[in-house]
Structure 1
């Protein structure tokens, strides 16, 4: 029987539901022609962020009204979890950086086509203000499926158990590094490197991104 369990601080289990599909498949390298999210630190759009002041959360709260329809008033989206991520609790740098990459067209993955028109009208200061606002918002608790896996090498284990193992230890045999190496031991991300927060994120969104 399938049912869900709600997690608070332990919402790393969210990663489990997304990662289990990854855990039961063979890793296949993407072809060289596949679209890849650009991450150059000297990209012109990203470089502009350094010229703006540190984000103002109060100013960002007003600007975030345009984002609420998809991402929720506080960044905890409640519609179509595969398309609209929760951005509450994400770092100022991560949010502003992604907006800059959307604006420049360097990010082509996910909802890039949908986001580009919104990001196109934002200044570097707008982006940092929005980032500061969402960084002050509290991420909602995640929901993870704790039903047992019926077959395969992980039969009998629960989905979140397999996912947590991948998150913490990876799978050396298949060349999968531990997720926590970049996203932190509790999945809250790495603000300095602008690695995103995973804790509390929709399982469907993480799975779609993987």
Structure 2
């Protein structure tokens, strides 16, 4: 319990003291710079396939940071790639030659768009006892209360009960995102394959004790989460 409370307080504190990422983009200018992005992410940031994230309404500071991190990884050479930015092989070459203002404008454009909800499914997941449990109920419990027994903090501390995130703190919207994408990212944070969550390792510390069943359940729940929940 102490572990859970500690990291929940850390997350809540970050909402107050984390300066976020400076971004001062022009969404109208960004609209002219995203043509190549549409094939994977859709013209308005609503990706047509769950292998690619929806970018619409994720928050300008968060989007700008991710673009900067992906660009940094792409530019890195040799062994430096293991410790630089964010590794997204599918983005190789896509941001080379883009200026900082270009990245800010692209982030501003996608942040100004409306996300289409993916929705959640009725399903069961198998927990450690071998029991099949309702995935929506488990997902909601993890999202709103975490798992005190294993030290998993609640998601609401950073991403809010509505799932809309905290834009000034660069915590992205989660509600409505593709469950498959959320699941993939949680697994990547848990495995240490994604490391661009800051020196405090907030997402890695959150994900490290999540079970496979909990990851699938919370990702599914998030897919149907919206401001009206």
Q: Please indicate, yes or no, whether the TM-score normalized by the shorter chain is above 0.5.
A: yes
The answer to whether structure 1 residue 85 and structure 2 residue 53 are counterparts is yes
Give the number of aligned pairs. Answer: 159
2:102 matched residue in structure 1: 126
1:107 matched residue in structure 2: 85
Normalised to the residue count of structure 2, the TM-score between the two structures is: 0.63
Normalised to the residue count of structure 1, the TM-score between the two structures is: 0.68
Considering Cα pairs closer than 8 Å and 6+ residues apart, tell me whether 1 or 2 has the greater RCO. 1
1:40-189 equivalent positions in 2, closer than 5 A: 50=22, 54-79=24-49, 81=50, 83-105=51-73, 106-109=84-87, 111=88, 113-149=89-125, 155=131, 157-189=133-165
Q: Secondary structure at the match of 2:169?
A: coil
The two structures, once aligned, show a CA RMSD in angstroms of: 2.4
Structure 1 residues 56-93: Cα deviation after superposition (integer angstroms, max 9, x where no partner): 111111111111000001111012x1x31011111111
Given that residues 154 and 162 in structure 1 are in contact (C-alpha distance below 8 angstroms), is that contact kept between their aligned partners in structure 2?
no
Given that residues 170 and 179 in structure 1 are in contact (C-alpha distance below 8 angstroms), is that contact kept between their aligned partners in structure 2?
yes
Distance 2:98 2:25 in 1: 13
Residue 150 of structure 1 deviates from its aligned partner by 6.4
Gaps (5+ residues) in structure 2?
1-17, 74-83, 187-229
Structure 1 residues 100-134: Cα deviation after superposition (integer angstroms, max 9, x where no partner): 1111123234x2x2224112221111111111111
Q: Secondary structure at the match of 2:119?
A: strand
The runs of at least 4 consecutive aligned structure 1 residues that moved more than 6 Å come to none
